[in-house]
Amino acid sequence: MKNYNAKIVFCHPIMVILFTAFLAVGVNAQAGNGWLSRYWDGCKPSCSWSGKQYNGQGQCKECDKNNNKINTNDLNRSSCEGGTSYTCWDMAPWAVDNTTAYGFAAAHNDGQCGTCWQLTFDGRTGNNSPNTNASSLNGKKLTVMISNIGGDVQGNQLDFLVPGGGVGNYDSFSSQIGNSNLGQRYGGLVSDGCIGNPSCLRRKCDNAFGNAGQEWLKAGCYFYADWMGAVDNPSYNAISVSCPAALVDRWKNTATMYTLTVNRNPAAGGTTTPESSQSNIIGGTQVNISAAAATGYTFNNWTVSGSGTIAGASNTSTSVTVNGNVTVTANFEQNKVNPINLPQIASGNLRAQATASAIVLENLPSNAKIEIYNLQGKRIYSNHSENSQILKILVQTKGMYIIKVKFSGETKSLRIPVI
């Protein structure tokens, strides 16, 4: 994919008029039928440069060679031009559930930066690509946020940002990860003999992103195998949508995350909501805390709104006493590392997240069997849950883990990186 970052100046007034008209049409060119190519070249996102139309989202973030977020600045030259600015690895796509997913993509003009598009796949392919396994995508919805601009991206095309998707015209990614075994220059690992073959693509993902610290990349590559079915250039119908908060957070990575812990004294005699703790609360979010009396206690059902509002301080504590019987204390503690949120288990509200040292499962169904394995196949955790329990399992080693949740005769599996 070509990544144009230079500013173009037209001197002739007629050319200016024509160029302006092109932009006016181009902003909405993604709506309707189109097809999805793929890439990951490692370059600084075009939407990280100043002077773009960001559609209210601000400049896209950028990272250094070691995947550390750096301050967005035009002085940071793109790695594809010999500089030190790269695409951040957490911009790899992820599944929300079996039929919904999020990610980033490149469009064909600057007016698209920061816009979001919901793509509904129709079970076919575009660009004269083989139709192998395309029916597996029929009806699935992928919402993408435009983070890059490609001069070779057509008006009825989006270029999907996915690890192993092909390095395109410019390649700083191979040298960044120290591996040039990334498949075809255009089409990447899928086009290297794996079209429509998820198991083939997964093997190539393992080979390409098997080093420690590359769990984000492997998870994104696995996504294209598992959720996308390794389909080559699937076709879709696109509509413009408001950007989901999860995509905006990945775009900026500026939200401060907190963990909320709720205690009550005395501990008996009633309930509180949240029951004990809740992770991954974004700074500025209002969290309502409520308490209900048990039989034999004198206070009425009680709810306080706003007492848990996070103002952005590193630590916040609030206490409320109800009729002299129950004191509810809420403590907000800033997480030292922004947790990973990969809600890929589809049943109910079940969610799996990870911090730098733990895996957190929320909204577990009653009596579910929970098993966690490392990539060597060693089981590191096995137990049954209680209804609506929040389960936090400490892990000693960073890397990819496999979570199996068994309940109601079905098993859900999830791969989650702890980095």
Q: Could you tell me what percentage of the chain is helix, strand and coil, using 3-state DSSP and rounding each to the nearest 5?
A: 15, 35, 45
Written as one string, the DSSP assignment of 6-52 is S-----SHHHHHHHHHHHHHHTTTTSEEEEEEEE---BPPGGGSTTS
**CA gap 17, 168 in Å, rounded:** 32
CB atoms near residue 389 (< 10 Å): 17
Active site residue 41: yes
Which residue intervals of 295-401 are DSSP H helices?
none
Of 90, 110, 159, 171, catalytic: 159
- From edge to edge, which strands make up the β-sheet containing 389-394? 340-341, 351-354, 358-364, 389-394
51: left (phi over 0), alpha (psi -120 to 50) or beta: left
**CA gap 341, 355 in Å, rounded:** 9
Burial classification of residue 294, based on how many CB atoms lie within 10 Å of its CB (0-12 exposed, 13-18 middle, 19 or more buried): exposed
Active site residue 249: no
| Residue of 261, 264, 270, 268 lying closest to 300 (CA atoms) | 270
The b/e string for 75-111 (b: 16+ C-beta within 10 A; e otherwise) is ebebbbeeeebbbbbbbbbbbbeeebbbbbbbbbbbb
Q: Which residues contact 331 (CB under 8 A, 6 or more apart)?
A: 260, 261, 263, 315, 316, 317
377: left (phi over 0), alpha (psi -120 to 50) or beta: left
What is the number of residues in the chain? 419
Of 41, 90, 110, 171, catalytic: 41
**What are the residue numbers of the active site?**
41, 159
